[in-house]
């Protein structure tokens, strides 16, 4: 009962790597990179992650996940109905439109770390965070200030981490366009694979940063 099965991410089995979104070719390349050796060696798992990242990066769309999402209101926000966000940093010509209001959601960690500061909502605008879960619009200028991911409208989402724990939050409603097994990247969080959809809630398995 301690593990969910052979595919539990803590087992480091082939089954678990597959469910995390590690491609078979990445495992093959990783083993070939190690080669044959008569001595015991320790190979950083980051090497496997690096190989897999190169295989999935170009096809992985970008979305946003707010862990332990906190609702924040924005005062004095200009009339902005939507913003266009690139689906990939190398494909600025392909964007997704995100409707916006004066209500957003931030991860609890980001909120706690930036209370009282001016931050930039990535791809959107600048706001100054207050200590009472409110904020004030400051400008649209792309300033050199902390850049924070945010959610306008969210879908309940959980992500299984490699240590077997789950994290909860909200993800962009546009993840509804994904298919089971799709690999994506939650900006400033990491690459994940969609594992299942349970009663409107989305479950992902964390791949790597």
Cα gap 121→114, rounded to integer Å: 12
The 3-state secondary structure of 31-82 reads HHHHCCCCCCCCCCHHHHHHHHHHHHHHHCCEECEEECCEEEEEECCCCCCE
pLDDT on residue 51: 98
Average pLDDT over residues 78-85: 94
Check if the beta carbon of residue 164 is closer than 8 Å to that of residue 2: no
In tens, the pLDDT along 39-64 reads 888 889 999 999 999 999 999 999 99
Angle of helix 24-34 versus helix 45-56 axis, rounded to 10: 140
pTM for the model stands at: 0.92
Average pLDDT over residues 134-148: 96
CA distance readout (Å), 63 to 135, 189, 191, 204: 23, 10, 10, 13
Tell me the pLDDT band of 92, cut-offs 50, 70 and 90. confident
pLDDT on residue 173: 95
In tens, the pLDDT along 180-192 reads 999 999 999 999 9
Q: Which structure tokens are listed for 33?
A: 């990179």
Query: CA 206: distance to chain centroid?
Result: 9
Q: If you search the block for the tokens 């479950």, which residue do you land on?
A: 203
Average pLDDT over residues 13-35: 95
């Amino acid at each position: 009962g301690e593990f969910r099965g052979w595919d539990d991410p803590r087992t480091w089995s082939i089954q678990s790597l597959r469910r995390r979104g590690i491609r078979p070719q990445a495992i093959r390349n990783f083993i070939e990179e190690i080669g044959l050796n008569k001595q015991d060696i320790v190979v950083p798992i980051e090497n496997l992650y690096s190989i897999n990242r190169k295989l999935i990066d170009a096809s992985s769309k970008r979305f946003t996940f707010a862990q332990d999402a906190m609702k924040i209101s924005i005062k004095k926000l200009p009339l902005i109905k939507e913003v266009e966000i690139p689906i990939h940093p190398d494909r600025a010509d392909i964007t997704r439109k995100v409707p916006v209001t004066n209500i957003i959601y931030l991860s609890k960690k980001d909120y706690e770390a930036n209370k009282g500061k001016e931050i930039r909502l990535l791809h959107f605008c600048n706001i100054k965070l207050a200590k009472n879960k409110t904020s004030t619009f400051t400008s649209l200028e792309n300033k050199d200030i902390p850049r924070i991911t945010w959610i306008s409208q969210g879908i309940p989402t959980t992500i299984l981490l490699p240590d077997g724990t789950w994290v909860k939050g909200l993800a962009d409603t546009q993840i509804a366009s994904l298919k089971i097994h799709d690999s994506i990247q939650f900006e400033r969080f990491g690459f994940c694979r969609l594992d299942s959809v349970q009663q409107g809630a989305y479950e992902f398995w964390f791949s790597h940063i």
